[in-house]
Amino acid sequence: MSAPETRINAVMITHNRKGEMLRSLDKLCSLPEAVAVILVDNGSSDGSAEAVARSLPQVQNIRSPVNLGAAARNLGVEQAKTAYVALCDDDTWWESGCLSKAADLLDVYPRVAVLTARLLNGPEEVEDPICRILESSPLRRNEPLPGYPLLGFLAGASVVRRDAFLEAGGFHPRFFIGGEEELLALELVACGWKLCYVPELIVHHYPSSRRDAPRRSYHVFRNRLWVSWLRHPARLAWRRTLVALGELPRDSVAARAFCGALAGLPWIMRERRVVPPVVEGQLQLLEGVQLPSQSQEEGPLPSEVASCALPQ
């Protein structure tokens, strides 16, 4: 048996998905790397915390009394004792050996803050269409990097450098779940960190049947607008807003999300801080990228990809 991997912890968040969560935790706890696993239970009422305590007592179980959404990951990363943290959803787990590979890469590339893995869906291990999109990123490489440079990441399939994550503030508590990665990604890049897609790293994803697609679409749409108004230069922010307005007649969820985005304007105006010119140039490189209409990942792919690297 190999020695435990001491450079990296795994952090998973869950909410009322006991069966999926136990399967994914069991996979993580069975990895030969023997990484320590932290579960953040987002106010589950289905006995998830008790089931973990019985079945997997080695897992550190943090219980939030309420559902914090993506911000629950912040609690797990804060509790981690390692330089790197592998982020997981309750329906994802890492391929054997990949966490040690990720730690090796982060050791070699000290300015890289996030490594996003290749996503394989279901027992058939079908590559998610988003992987081809990430491989075709037009961002330029101005220094040696692992994989492909990005302006974002997949929160359930990435390893983060703990200090960089905390320095950038983690996931914003207002964003809940759905496109929550985009703001954090821009914060990291604005601080000079690099984000990369590395297809040699693999995450398995068994999409949960327990999901509220309209609610998630609402958050994705609203959060896309919030990020535009918070960090994008005026021209790009207006462009994305006009795209959103063009979708309103066809989508009642988008209409509600647009109203929800407008309700956030007071705090957005207080916190608006446009990205540096070098980041603006990278955003402009990504304008006009054509996206497929659907993915096997949670939520509609265009909005998910917007949070992973490719703004619309």
Instruction: Kindly report the CATH number assigned to the domain that includes residue 28.
Output: 3.90.550.10
pLDDT of residue 288: 56
pLDDT digits (tens, 9 = 90+) for 136-150: 888 888 889 999 999
pLDDT digits (tens, 9 = 90+) for 55-107: 999 999 999 999 999 999 999 999 999 999 999 999 999 999 999 999 999 99
pLDDT of residue 91: 95
Same domain, 168 and 257: no
Please give the average per-residue pLDDT across 204-215, as a whole number.
82
Domain boundary among 155, 181, 205: 205
Provide the domain limits for residue 34: 8-205
Q: Give strand ranges (E) for 123-235.
A: 126-127, 148-150, 157-161, 194-205
Tokens of 270: 């207080």
Q: Work out the pLDDT band at 293, boundaries 50, 70, 90.
A: very low
Same domain, 150 and 223: no
CB 70 within 8 A of CB 171: yes
216-230, 250-264, 273-287, 291-305: least confidently modelled range: 291-305
Same domain, 153 and 256: no
Same domain, 50 and 198: yes
Q: Work out the pLDDT band at 299, boundaries 50, 70, 90.
A: very low
Residue 296 included in any domain: yes
In the predicted structure, residue 305 carries a pLDDT above the cut 70: no
Residue 1 included in any domain: no
More confident residue, 118 or 235: 118
Report how far residue 2's alpha carbon sits from residue 184's, in angstroms, rounded to the nearest whole number.
34
Same domain, 41 and 71: yes
pLDDT digits (tens, 9 = 90+) for 32-47: 999 999 999 999 999 9
Per residue, what are the HEC states of the chain?
Answer: CCCCCCCEEEEEEECCCHHHHHHHHHHHHCCCCCCCEEEEEECCCCCHHHHHHHHCCCCEEEEECCCCHHHHHHHHHHHCCCCEEEEECCCEEECCCHHHHHHHHHHHCCCEEEEEEEEEECCCCEECCHHHHHHCCCCCCCCCCCCEEECCCCCCEEEEEHHHHHHCCCCCCCCCCCCCHHHHHHHHHHCCCEEEEEEEEEEEECCCCCCCHHHHHHHHHHHHHHHHHHHCCHHHHHHHHHHHHHHHHHCHHHHHHHHHHHHCHHHHHHHCCCCCHHHHHHHHHCCCCCCCCCCCCCCCHHHHHHHHCCCC
Residue 2 included in any domain: no
Residue 50 included in any domain: yes
Count of domains observed in the chain: 2
Domain boundary among 137, 170, 205: 205
Residue 3 included in any domain: no
Domain boundary among 205, 227, 243: 205
Same domain, 162 and 49: yes
Q: Work out the pLDDT band at 215, boundaries 50, 70, 90.
A: confident
Same domain, 83 and 217: no
In the predicted structure, residue 296 carries a pLDDT above the cut 60: no
φ, ψ for residue 241 (rounded to 5)? -65, -40
Query: Which amino acid does the sequence have at 59?
Result: V
Same domain, 29 and 13: yes
In the predicted structure, residue 292 carries a pLDDT above the cut 70: no
Same domain, 30 and 97: yes
Q: Is 290 helix (H, G, I), strand (E, B) or coil?
A: coil
Residue 175 included in any domain: yes
